[in-house]
Structure 1
Amino acid sequence: MQSQSEQKRARVLDPVERITEVIFGLLMAMTFTGTISVATADQSAERTMMIAALGCNLAWGLADAVMYLLRTLVERTRRINLYVSLRNGADSADGQALVAQVLPLHLAAAAGTEGLELLRSRLLEQPSLPEQASLGWDDFKGALGVFLLVAGSTFPLVVPFILLDQTALAIRLSNLIGLLVLFIAGWMLAKYAGAKPWQGGAVMAVTGGVLIVAIIALGG
C-alpha cells in the first residue's frame, strides 16, 4: 500500500485535475485577448489587457489553491472518520457498508461481499490514523502547484503582445498559441483515457474556441 506522502504526491500530480487546471486558466486568459480590437487597440489597451488577464488568473489561481486545500482536508477527515467507525465496533456487515460508501458504485458492486470484507479487514490492519485531520507541507506545495498552473497558463498568450509591435499579428499568434495548447491538453487527456489522442486534441481545440466565443458574447 502507498505511504501517505506517496498518496499526497499522486493527488498533486493527477493528470486530469492538473490538465483541466491549465485549460481553465487558458480559457480565462483567452477571453481577455479575444476582446482586443485589431482596428482600435493600442499599446495602452494591450497593457491593460495583459494586466487584467494576469490579475484574473492570479485571483482564480489563488481561489483554486484554497479549494485544493479545503478538498484535501475534507477527504482526509472523511477517511479518518471511516477508520474510526470501523475501529469502534462496527460488525462485518456495517463495516462492508462503510467501505462501499467510499468506493465508486461500479467498484463496490464488482467487489461484492467477499471483496468488501477483504478491504474492511485490510483497513483494520493499517496503522492508526491521527485523531484529527490536518494539512502538511506537502499539501501546501500541492496548492502552490495548482496556483502556478492556473496563473502560468496566462503567460504564453501575452508573450506575442510583449514581443511584437503589430497588434493584428500579436492577436493571431496569441490565439494560435492558445488553440495549440488546448490541442495538446486534449491530446494528453485522450491519451490518459485510452482514446485516440488526435481526436481528443481536435475536440478540445474546437470546444475551447466555441467556449471562448460564448464567454465573450455573454460578457465574460
Structure 2
Amino acid sequence: MNRDESWAVIADQRRAVADLLAELTDPEWDTPSLCADWRVRDVAAHLALAPQPPGLLTMTTEAIRAGGRFHRLNHDLAVRHANRPSADLVAELRRHADSRRLPAVTNYRNILFDVLVHAQDIAVPLERPLVMPLRAAAAGATRVWTMGWPFWARRRLPAVRLVATDTDWSVGDGAEVCGPISALLLLLTGRRARCPELSGPGTARL
C-alpha cells in the first residue's frame, strides 16, 4: 500500500473506533483491552494522541519519568490522557481522523498497523465487530514481521510458516499456521485472543 492509501485506512479506522466508543457505557470504557494493563479508555487515549503528539520538552520529561522505558512512556502518556471525559476522546478521534501529523520517532507504516491492532484491542474484548481491511492488514503484518523491535516476531515465532486464508500473504518457514490475516497480525504483535481462529500443524508451536 502506498502512503495515500495507508493514510486513508488510518482515517477510516479512527472514525470506526470513534463510532464504536460513542456507543459504550461507562463500565465498558474501563474494560481490560487486549493490550496488557491497558483499559479500553487507555487505548482510545493512545489513538487520540497519535495525531497530536506532545512537544519535545514534554516527551523528554516523560521519558525521564519513565526511566527511559518506551512501553512505560507510552502507557503513562495514554493513562494520563485517558482521564478526560469519554466524549472528549471520541471528539478528538473524529476531529483528527484525517490528520497526517505523527510523532517524530515513527512513520505512517507504523501508524497503520498501530491503529489496526489497537482498534481490535478495543473491539475484541467488547465483542463488537470492527472490520480490518485485508490489504492494510497484510501490509501491517509484513511491517511487523520485518521490523524487529519492539515485537521481535521472527524471534518469537520460529520454525512456523504463517499463511493467510483470506488474502495472498505468507511469511516464515516450517509448520503452517493458517488463518485470517487479522488474526495473524494480532498474533505477530503478541495478542493471542484470536488464536482459536488459527489452524494447521504449526499451532502446537505457538
Fold equivalence (TM over 0.5): no
TM bucket (normalised to shorter chain) is under 0.3
The normalised TM-score by structure 2 is 0.25
The structure that has the greater radius of gyration is 1
RCO higher in structure (CA 8 A, sep ≥6)? 1
Relative to its length, the structure with more strand (as a share) is 2
Please state which structure has a larger fraction of its residues in helix: 1
The normalised TM-score by structure 1 is: 0.24
